[in-house]
Amino acid sequence: MQKTVAIGLSGGVDSALSAWKLLQDGYQVVALTMSMWDGSVEMPVVEGRAGCFGPNEGLAISQAKALADRLKIPHFVIPVAKEFSEYVLEYFRREYRSGRTPNPCVRCNQTIKFGAMLEGARKAGVEFDYFATGHYAQICDKGVDTPILWRSQDPLKDQSYFLSRLSRETLSKVLFPLGEMKKEDVKALAEKIGWVDLAHKKESQDFLECGDYSVLFNESDNTPGNFVDVSGKVLGRHRGIVHYTIGQRKGLNIGGQPEPLFVLGIDANRNEVILGKRSVLSSQYIKAIDVNLLVSQDSPLLKENLSARIRLGHSGANCKILSLTPESIEIQFEEPQFAATPGQILVLYAGNGVVASAIIESSSL
């Protein structure tokens, strides 16, 4: 019996080629596009900019509809504005207001794209066996003692980090048609089948269309406070804690110091931003909470040396697990790492397979 795959269609080359490949493989394909914009945030319209959330959403939806027509597949727009506001925007605000640094894209994948959108589609009567996206990652389900989520074949485009909060159950019904391809091969294939417009289309990975997080906060979030050093000495004034994150150097506007200063910590209760030397940001131990385990608790992989990423731009470093419960995980790096930031995502790899992820709570030397 022919299986049906729902494809998350955004209007870009990756999701379009994913849908095309699924059709070539004999699947019946339907397209889903999220509608998140509800006008609740005052955001300027920036011509030529694209992003996940913003007032130009109508254009993005029409482009997705045009692609679905090109592919000759049904297209459904699934409203998720309420869920996006609650699970992503409010989470983002709450984390920043508490002095933490969230990753909205990881959160959106977990709660919206692979959550609320699929629930909304099924409630609307859209039936499907699998869900697919244009993410660069791979699925390999060989049993609970081995990873189900793997890095893509393109190390420069790999998006396994963004998908690490998805449960094993969710991933078991997911397809990533581009997982074994490199970006240049995807563009070349688009040109080969006559989709030159898509091959050369400008892409954006921005969370907000305008690129400015400050539009999500109100006047009270911009309450000025003190920059202080580790001893509590006042070094200057900041413009509101939501504008800063641990490890930040640029934009502090603190002069007259013998060496560059970095954000070491944020005290939300005192409305203070703590500054100091870069060396203070090194840590070898990390505690993270809200563990998402993608292998069994008894998997021998968890007892081996692993590689951990502590943010998207972190290439990864060797580590071992010191303790693991469903609620928390503690790891030790072989070498100290820079700026393990509370609120960011810790992702553990065994080779190229994701074994676990969690939200960083604290770190130390």
Q: Which two tokens stand for residue 64?
A: 């997705």
CA-to-CA distance for 8 and 162, rounded, in angstroms? 15
Confidence of residue 204 (pLDDT cuts 50, 70, 90): low
* pLDDT, tens only, 45-98: 777 667 888 898 998 999 999 999 999 999 999 999 999 999 999 999 999 999
For residues 341 and 360, give the distance between their C-alpha atoms in angstroms, rounded to a whole number: 7
pTM value is 0.94
- pLDDT above 90 as % of the chain: 82
Q: Which tens digits make up the pLDDT trace of 297-347?
A: 999 999 999 999 999 989 999 999 999 998 999 999 999 999 999 999 999
The H or E element that residue 199 is part of is helix 196-199
Please state the rounded mean pLDDT for residues 176-191: 96
Query: What are the chain's domains?
Result: 4-134+177-199 (3.40.50.620), 221-276 (2.30.30.280), 282-364 (2.40.30.10)
- Compute the average pLDDT of residues 159-169: 97
Q: Where does the pLDDT of residue 205 fall: very low under 50, low under 70, confident under 90, or very high at 90 and above?
A: low
Closest by CA position to 305, among listed 333, 282, 280: 333
Non-local (6+) Cβ contacts of 11 within 8 A are 33, 60, 61, 63, 64, 66, 67
**Whether residue 319 lies in the annotated active site:** no
Amino acid code (one letter) for 28: Q
AA identity, residue 216? L
At 48 the pLDDT is 65
The one catalytic residue in 52, 105, 140, 210 is 210
Cα distance between residue 289 and residue 108, in whole Å: 18
Q: Which of 52, 105, 108, 319 is catalytic?
A: 108
Mean pLDDT of 138-162: 93
Active site residue 52: no
% pLDDT > 70, the chain: 99
